[in-house]
Chain A
Amino acid sequence: MSEISSAESELIGGATRQFLRRRAFWNRFAAYWLLAAALVSVLVTVGIVYVLVTESLPFFNQVSLVDFLTDTQWTPMFENARYGVMTLVSATLTVAGIALAVAIPAGLALAIYLSEYARPAVRESVKPLLELLEGVPTVVYGFFALLFVTPLLQTFIPGLAGFNMLAPGLVMGIMILPYTASVSEDAMRAVPMGLREAGYALGYSRFRVATRVVIPAALSGITAAFILGMSRAVGETMVVAIAAGQNPNFTFNPTEGAATITAYIVQMAMGDLPHGSLAYQSVFAAGFVLFLITLTFNLIGFFLRRRFREAY
């Protein structure tokens, strides 16, 4: 303590100058460090775009964009390789479509039930159940789709292939159900009580209040829930990689098997791809398409949700 000069030990509001200087340093240091951490998340996006662009550019030097978007064959391992990405996109959209056909009505019904009908105690215990459902690993859902749901469906639908898009689509629908239901429920619960009371004052039943008042008021939030659900379905990997097969097939027929974009990436990554080969680059080209599709959905969802939050 003796080396501290009298000016240093002078107290300001009960603290020494020396301490206050050190404190101010840490205060500023922390602010920069926290900003840097926040910027890492931006760096991740930059890194993703950088990798996708640089790895798929050489691909588009060899495969024309027109062929890429119009060809209906995807045969990267053949002698005469063809790269029509729509082959993968068709399967991706088919599976996602089936998933949404399950998740939209079921999710909406569940959200209406939870936000308009269920007692708080019920709601409190259902939400954790939904979280548990959300927490099941997707490989497990894949196993279930392939070895439980497909055999089950085959007893009703004789022509159903062992690898098909129907079973993973249905399972994926259940998989994204907790997400779409809880996001729409949040949107519906954010609708001010006053609007509901106005509906009840007109003599509306609960159902009418839900369909005529709450859903229209929460529409942008509910739409966001389904768009974000769609994004998840499009990007989901393991369920389709396991249960929809890995054979690129331009089809919208759910009873057939077909490789989605994600299944293709998994399939190629499993094999030993020579770094820098056209097939290696095709993985990134396909990934780029996937990224653009999900990015579009995510941004629409983000702004719809933000608009909804601003409204209430």
Chain B
Amino acid sequence: MQPNLRPITRETTDVSSAPGDSNADLHRHQESVPLPHGNRADVRKLSFWYGKTQALKEVNLPVVDRKVTALIGPSGCGKSTLLRCFNRMHDLYPGNRYDGEIRLYPEDENLVAIDPGLVRLRIGMVFQKPNPFPKSIYANVAAGLEVRGIKKRSVLDERVERALRHAALWDEVKDRLNGSAYGLSGGQQQRLCIARALAPEPEMILFDEPTSALDPLATAKIEDLVQQLAGEVTILIVTHNMQQASRISDFTAFMLMGEMVEYGNTDQVFTAPEDPRTDQYITGRFG
């Protein structure tokens, strides 16, 4: 079987794997590729262990700059684990271990080998459940700026407004910026969390099933938002909802039991998947 992987990276380096190895195939195909955008990050043979349990097995994945890449797969397949490697959330808990690389461009640094604090300054995250701080709306959006030592009121005002407008929340909250974030509805809270992540202008934002706790209307708003943001910031999104992936992403990666099964253009993955397991999953035969 020939995994047809959409050519996307300018990276053509990894050819060292044995023939027949699907990961090697993945990179071999990339050689022939014109570059729509270039990559913001590139996961190479990344393995990850929670204590003794291996959760990721030599995963490869390109993340295209200023596009939406969706990670799909049944629960427990490792998609959230992979996402959380990108901002080193696993480092907060003892006993976790990485092996392999996530190259970050344009600096070409290995993200899993540098100071996690610096990684998190560059890559923002939006979580499964809206998790605003128990503070005012303004303080929530300004939090990421204060963490970076930005204290000047005029700068904060301007960037808080910009982030809230960006997150399509400004009109709803502009009159109650000093009200508690907990006074907002679930969907508004999640958009507030997106504004909070946007305010420091990160290079990439990770979304971990951002709509799983929301009703359909709020979900639609978040989906619109993700698509609008795509032109400006690189987005990696985990979703358990395949329709969502097909609606909002440019590229889709399908994972199963800690392995990367298939990666490609979203249209192609959903209409003509290469791997029979992908086909089974998207047609709803398991997961």
Residue of A nearest to B124 (CB): A13
Residue of B nearest to A15 (CB): B148
A70 within 8 A of B: no
A16 within 8 A of B: yes
**Do A14 and B118 touch (CB < 8 A)?**
no
Q: For B148, what are the chain A residues with a Cβ–Cβ distance below 8 Å?
A: 13-15, 19
With beta carbons under 8 angstroms apart, the residue of A14, A16, A22 that contacts B200 is A14
Secondary structure call for the A interface: mixed
Closest beta carbon of chain A to B184's beta carbon, Å: 25
Q: For B144, what are the chain A residues with a Cβ–Cβ distance below 8 Å?
A: 14
Interface string of B113-151 (1 = CB under 8 A from A): 000001011100000000000000000000011011110
CA distance A22 to B202 in the complex (A): 21
Q: For B201, what are the chain A residues with a Cβ–Cβ distance below 8 Å?
A: 14
Give residues 19-77 of A contacting B (CB, 8 Å): 19-20, 22-23
CA distance A185 to B178 in the complex (A): 43
With beta carbons under 8 angstroms apart, the residue of B121, B145, B147, B150 that contacts A12 is B121
Closest beta carbon of chain A to B233's beta carbon, Å: 13
Q: For B203, what are the chain A residues with a Cβ–Cβ distance below 8 Å?
A: 13
Number of A-B contacts (CB under 8 A): 30
**Do B122 and A13 touch (CB < 8 A)?**
yes
CA distance A23 to B121 in the complex (A): 13
Q: For B120, what are the chain A residues with a Cβ–Cβ distance below 8 Å?
A: 13
**Do B149 and A15 touch (CB < 8 A)?**
yes
Interface size on A, residues (CB 8 A): 9
Q: For A14, what are the chain B residues with a Cβ–Cβ distance below 8 Å?
A: 121, 144-145, 148, 150, 200-202
CA distance A23 to B151 in the complex (A): 14
Q: For B149, what are the chain A residues with a Cβ–Cβ distance below 8 Å?
A: 15-16, 19, 22-23
CA distance A22 to B148 in the complex (A): 11
CA distance A13 to B200 in the complex (A): 8
**Do A12 and B200 touch (CB < 8 A)?**
no
CA distance A12 to B123 in the complex (A): 11
Q: For A13, what are the chain B residues with a Cβ–Cβ distance below 8 Å?
A: 118, 120-122, 148, 200, 202-203
Q: For B118, what are the chain A residues with a Cβ–Cβ distance below 8 Å?
A: 12-13, 20
CA distance A229 to B104 in the complex (A): 59
Q: For B121, what are the chain A residues with a Cβ–Cβ distance below 8 Å?
A: 12-15
CA distance A20 to B122 in the complex (A): 13
Closest beta carbon of chain B to A247's beta carbon, Å: 57
Q: Which of B120, B148, B150, B201 has the most CB atoms of chain A within a 10 A radius of its CB?
A: B148
Closest beta carbon of chain A to B143's beta carbon, Å: 12
CA distance A16 to B150 in the complex (A): 9
Q: For B145, what are the chain A residues with a Cβ–Cβ distance below 8 Å?
A: 14
CA distance A16 to B121 in the complex (A): 11
Give residues 119-165 of A contacting B (CB, 8 Å): none
Closest beta carbon of chain A to B110's beta carbon, Å: 16
Closest beta carbon of chain B to A201's beta carbon, Å: 32
CA distance A13 to B120 in the complex (A): 8
Closest beta carbon of chain B to A1's beta carbon, Å: 11
CA distance A22 to B122 in the complex (A): 18
Residue of B nearest to A19 (CB): B149
Q: For B200, what are the chain A residues with a Cβ–Cβ distance below 8 Å?
A: 13-14
Q: For B147, what are the chain A residues with a Cβ–Cβ distance below 8 Å?
A: 15
Residue of B nearest to A24 (CB): B117
CA distance A20 to B201 in the complex (A): 17
CA distance A12 to B118 in the complex (A): 8
CA distance A13 to B118 in the complex (A): 7
Give residues 238-285 of B contacting A (CB, 8 Å): none
CA distance A276 to B144 in the complex (A): 61
CA distance A74 to B122 in the complex (A): 73
Closest beta carbon of chain A to B250's beta carbon, Å: 25
8 closest A-B pairs by CB:
A13-B121, A19-B149, A15-B148, A13-B122, A14-B200, A14-B148, A15-B149, A14-B201
Q: A16-B149, A23-B149 are in contact. List 14 more A-B contacts (CB 8 A).
A: A12-B121, A12-B122, A13-B121, A13-B122, A13-B200, A14-B144, A14-B148, A14-B150, A14-B200, A14-B201, A15-B121, A15-B147, A15-B148, A20-B118
B-binding residues in A (CB < 8 A): 12-16, 19-20, 22-23
* A-B contact list, 10 entries, CB within 8 Å: A12-B121, A13-B118, A13-B120, A13-B121, A13-B200, A13-B202, A14-B121, A15-B150, A19-B148, A20-B118
